[in-house]
Amino acid sequence: MRIKILVVDDEESICDILKYNLELDGYEVDYALSAEEALTMDLPSYSLFILDIMMDRLSGFDFAKKLKNNQATENTPVIFCSALSGEDDTVMGLNLGGDDYITKPFVISEVLARVRAVLRRSQVSHQYAYNMSRGLREPDIVFKTMRVDRNEKVCYMDGKQLQLTKTEFEILLFFLTHRNRIYSREEIIQEVWPDDVVVSNRTIDTNITRLRKKIDPYGNNIVTRLGFGYGFKEIN
């Protein structure tokens, strides 16, 4: 059975381009020209949603909220694809639970690479769920009052769950398992993102800035070496 993808965009030409190339890559692809039309479809049957943001009436952000508030689709990955390229738009998309953000005009090879990467990460998450059902658990990682559950992919601070995106969680997990060393941005990309995904320095910096705020008071433990990269130091 082929993986099903739903593209939601009010530009039919964009939908046609994505459908054609994704199907060449082996996926089954449907599209909707509005979020309202998409809501009439069998959403739980899809393994990935690719959403435009600026659509009439119901925006891509609002549609994503509905997906995340529905138990049947809350864990289905979302890629935003929009002409909005500002940092605030990217941050908002990721904070809403988006797994990636692609700006228009896009290069189709990059879109395909990002789709493969997001689906691969999603499959890893499902594998964790399978391991848990079989009683196969990995030990938690603890730093002072912060605890990372690698099996459920969640982080707790003083017993309260932090709202981290998948990328923020993977960065934190990498830092906590590789403490007291500075890593270049290239090394972080290699460890956190798949090889076939193009990641800019700005993407790394934005994710780490948000992560620092979310793990306060331990944000200062993520240190910066200007011109080189980042690391997690066990400072007092």
pLDDT in tens, 101-140: 888 888 898 898 888 888 877 765 555 555 555 665 677 8
Is 67:73 a contact under the CB 8 Å cutoff?
yes
Give the amino acid at 198.
V
| Mean pLDDT value of segment 209-230 | 94
pTM greater than 0.75 (yes/no): no
Q: What is the pLDDT of residue 118?
A: 85
| Average pLDDT value for residue range 155-177 | 93
What pLDDT score was predicted for residue 127?
Answer: 55
Sequence letter at residue 208: I
Mind giving me the DSSP string for 58-111? Answer: S-HHHHHHHHHTSTTTTTS-EEEEES---HHHHHHHHHTT-SEEEESS--HHHH
pLDDT of residue 120: 78
**b/e map of 143-181 (b: 16 or more CB within 10 Å)?**
beebbbbbeebebbbeeeebebbbbbbbbbbebbeeeee
Domains of the chain as residue ranges with CATH:
4-130 (3.40.50.2300), 141-232 (1.10.10.10)
User: How much of the chain exceeds pLDDT 70, in percent?
Assistant: 91
Please choose, from the candidates 131, 52, 129, 133, the residue with its C-alpha nearest in 3D space to the C-alpha of residue 93.
Answer: 52
For 46-80, the pLDDT digits (tens) are 999 999 988 888 999 999 999 989 988 988 999 99
**pLDDT at 28 (0 to 100):** 93
What was the pLDDT predicted at 150?
85
Q: Which residues pair with 102 in a beta bridge?
A: 81
What pLDDT, on a 0 to 100 scale, did the predictor assign at position 19? 96
